[in-house]
Structure 1
Amino acid sequence: MNKPPLIWTNIILFASTFLVSLILVPWYAIAVGFSWTEIIATVLCLGYCGMSITAGYHRLWAHKTYDAHPVLQWIFAIGGAFALQNSALHWSSDHRVHHKFVDQNDKDPYSAQRGFWFSHIGWMLREYQSNTYSDYSNARDLQNNKIVMWQHRNYLWLTILTNFGIPLVLGMLTDSILGMLLSVGVLRLTLSHHFTFFINSLAHIWGSRPYTDQNSARDNGVLAFLTYGEGYHNFHHIFEYDYRNGIKWWQFDPTKWLIKSCSYLGLTRNLKVCPQERIEKAKAQMQLKRAQSRVLHLPDAELTLQKLQHEYDLLQEKLQLYYEAKKSLLQQKKQQLTEQYAGFDLKQQVADLKASWRAQQKQWRLLTAQFA
């Protein structure tokens, strides 16, 4: 079968930046040495590029998990060009196709089922993509966004201005033009590219699947550290309209922290969050599936399966009762239909149901842990 034609612009870009980062950057570090100013500037610019992709391209424009003030959108649009990963319109269109057809080799633009190399970088080296959404028909909302379309129209000169201009300006200010070009210019770009590419490749190969096994996406704390929180990919693929990826307070998700912090400044609003009830149900269902698959070889498999199903049903029942009571309490508070004392019984009921659910959840975890 004939392979699609090569995209030489991408091949030259990726190859040249990788080779300079691999050869010239270490040579300069040994022969001349990078100053702390250059190192700090590189880290800051790397973070700016990365967060423009994760908070801007991904969670704001591709998935619409929140609304952002125009000032923040301008910052992300410039940072996205600095990251050199195509325009926000093109990137978001591709990403929406990926979510719609995840793991389908003939439709997913960077399907992990075609191997690490293809999903990481190979899909950008040849004209693999079909013309299904060449008119960006799956991103009509973004075509009505003036900032997104301005960046799309002016993407080429924006990438040149940022990727050459920013390092040159920093170099002139610190009297280290070559050092800044190598560190902020090339090394930062190479790291920014491959850290982001890890989400398409490693995040679909390496990690756990606590929420769903219907696709290849994985949760991985190491990748989350390298990708500003995007490593919690299993959660993202089942709850893609949640502005968070790491939902626990201790999970490393600086993109979530940035979006939330900006809400206090009036720069973001309408932050979308998946109901906790749905998250808990997805986790419990995966725990049940894993436990069931591990007890089939046991002598008393049938009895154990019945016990698992019974405890699972109890967990779901108590979870449902707790959240229904919680919703009723919230509705009562919003409508202000009763006096303060009238709500006391319902508050106590919610507290009791929560305690009952937590106790059942603990018992469920102890049971399923035997088959982990």
Structure 2
Amino acid sequence: MKKPPILWTNVLFFSLSFLAAVTLVPWYGFEYGYTTSHWLAFIACMFYAGLSITAGYHRLWAHKAYDAHPVIQVIFALGGAFALQNSALHWSSDHRIHHGQVDDPVKDPYAATRGFWYSHIGWMLRDYQGDSYGDYSNARDLQRNRIVMWQHKHYMKLVLLTNIGIPLTLGLLLGNVIGMLLLAGVLRLVLSQHFTFFINSLAHIWGSRPYTEKNTARDNGFLALFTYGEGYHNFHHIFASDYRNGIRWYHYDPTKWLIRTFAALGLASKLKRTPIERIEKAKAETLLNKTKVSLAKLPLAQDKLTLLQQEYDLLLKKLQNYCAVQKQVLEAKKAAVRAQCEHSALMQQYKELEQAWESQKQAWIALNSRLLKTA
């Protein structure tokens, strides 16, 4: 099969920018040095570009996980141009196709099933999209967004303005224009791009799949450190409209924290959050299927399979009871009767069901662990 033509502009850009980052940046540092102020400015630029992609392009526009004030949208549109990962319209359209056709070697724009290199950067080095490149029929909602379309129309102008203007301004303020062009310009650009690319590649190869094994997406807390919280990718692929990727308090997800901060300031609204019942059911079902596959290899495994199914059914029943009462408690609190609720029979029932659910979940995990060891 004949390969699509090489996109030489992309090949030269990625090659030369990477070469500059690994040669000119360290050379200048050894010869002239970078100050603490330079590195702080570099970090600030990294977060601005990165969060514009994760909170703006990804969770706001691609998945509509929340609504944002127009001022925030403009800030993200400029930051997206600074990150130089195409316009918000094009990026979001590609990403929606990725979610709808995930792992399909033909239809998924950056299918991980075609290997690390392809999903990381290879898909941008040849004209794989062909005539469909400018087809934004899956993003008609974004075509009605004036800020998105303004950025799309003036994208290259904004790329030049931000990628030259921001480092240049910082260099003038800090007294080292060349140093800031290298740090906040070249190094920041290369790192922020490849950190995003890691989600398309490494996050589909390295990590765990606690929520679903129907696609290659993985949860990886280490990757979350470099991707502003996007490393919890297995969760994201099954609950894509959730404004969170890291759902636990200890999950590093600065994108989630930024969105919450905006909401507290009245700059974001309609934050979508997946109900705990759906999350826990997905985890339980995934573990059930995994254990079933392992037990099916054993002779006379029917008794163990029956026990497993019984425990699973009991788990779901207790989960449903807990979530039903949890909903009543939340409604009671919203009705401004929190003080009475805390001492009511409803609150007592809620605590008892919560404890019963947690105990059953631990028993469920222990049972699966024990059965898997015998497999």
Q: TM bucket by the smaller chain?
A: over 0.9
Pair 335,250 (structure 1): closer, same or farther in 2 beyond 3 Å:
closer
Q: Which residue of 1 aligns with 2:233?
A: 233
Pair 336,255 (structure 1): closer, same or farther in 2 beyond 3 Å:
closer
The answer to whether the Cα contact below 8 Å between 1:224 and 1:252 also exists between their aligned partners in 2 is yes
Give 5+ residue unaligned stretches, structure 1: none
Q: Which residue of 1 aligns with 2:278?
A: 278
Q: Which residue of 2 aligns with 1:89?
A: 89
Which amino acid in 2 is paired with 1:26? P
Cα distance in 2 for residues equivalent to 1:351 and 1:126: 57
Instruction: Report how far residue 345 of structure 1 moved.
Output: 3.6
Q: Which residue of 2 aligns with 1:127?
A: 127
259-268 or 302-311: which moved more?
302-311
Q: Which residue of 2 aligns with 1:34?
A: 34
Q: Which residue of 2 aligns with 1:319?
A: 319
Instruction: Report how far residue 131 of structure 1 moved.
Output: 3.8
Cα deviation digits, residues 159-202 of structure 1 (max 9, x gap): 00111111112222222121111111100000011000001000
- Write the mapping of 1:15-34 to structure 2, written as runs, cut at 5 A: 15-34=15-34
Instruction: Report how far residue 308 of structure 1 moved.
Output: 1.3
Q: Which residue of 2 aligns with 1:208?
A: 208
Instruction: Report how far residue 33 of structure 1 moved.
Output: 1.5
Q: TM-score, normalised by structure 2?
A: 0.94
Cα deviation digits, residues 227-250 of structure 1 (max 9, x gap): 000000000000000000000000
Q: Which residue of 2 aligns with 1:80?
A: 80
Instruction: Report how far residue 132 of structure 1 moved.
Output: 4.4
Which amino acid in 2 is paired with 1:285? E
64-73 or 131-140: which moved more?
131-140
Which amino acid in 2 is paired with 1:216? T
* Alignment partner of 1:181 is 2:199: no
Q: Which residue of 1 aligns with 2:56?
A: 56
* Alignment partner of 1:252 is 2:233: no
The answer to whether the Cα contact below 8 Å between 1:38 and 1:183 also exists between their aligned partners in 2 is yes
Which amino acid in 1 is paired with 2:235? F
Which amino acid in 2 is paired with 1:68? A
Cα deviation digits, residues 302-361 of structure 1 (max 9, x gap): 222222111111101111122223334545666799xx69x9344333332222212211
Cα distance in 1 for residues equivalent to 2:79 and 2:121: 21
SS at match of 1:104: coil
Pair 336,179 (structure 1): closer, same or farther in 2 beyond 3 Å:
closer
Cα distance in 2 for residues equivalent to 1:174 and 1:49: 20
Cα distance in 1 for residues equivalent to 2:283 and 2:302: 23
Pair 42,329 (structure 1): closer, same or farther in 2 beyond 3 Å:
closer
Instruction: Report how far residue 31 of structure 1 moved.
Output: 1.8
Q: Which residue of 1 aligns with 2:67?
A: 67
Which amino acid in 1 is paired with 2:178? L
The answer to whether the Cα contact below 8 Å between 1:67 and 1:268 also exists between their aligned partners in 2 is yes
Cα distance in 2 for residues equivalent to 1:134 and 1:156: 16
SS at match of 2:344: helix
Q: Which residue of 1 aligns with 2:268?
A: 268
Instruction: Report how far residue 23 of structure 1 moved.
Output: 1.2
Q: Which residue of 1 aligns with 2:13?
A: 13
- Write the mapping of 1:102-141 to structure 2, written as runs, cut at 5 A: 102-132=102-132, 134-141=134-141
SS at match of 1:234: helix
* Alignment partner of 1:344 is 2:344: yes
Instruction: Report how far residue 28 of structure 1 moved.
Output: 1.4
Q: Which residue of 1 aligns with 2:365?
A: 365
Aligned length: 370
Q: TM-score, normalised by structure 1?
A: 0.94
Cα distance in 1 for residues equivalent to 2:350 and 2:364: 21
Which amino acid in 1 is paired with 2:209? R
Cα distance in 1 for residues equivalent to 2:16 and 2:302: 60
Q: Percent identity?
A: 60
Cα deviation digits, residues 39-92 of structure 1 (max 9, x gap): 111111011000000000000000000000111111101000000001001100
SS at match of 1:110: coil
Pair 10,364 (structure 1): closer, same or farther in 2 beyond 3 Å:
same
SS at match of 1:64: coil
Give 5+ residue unaligned stretches, structure 2: none
Instruction: Report how far residue 299 of structure 1 moved.
Output: 5.5
Which amino acid in 1 is paired with 2:147? I
The answer to whether the Cα contact below 8 Å between 1:93 and 1:133 also exists between their aligned partners in 2 is no
Q: Which residue of 1 aligns with 2:167?
A: 167
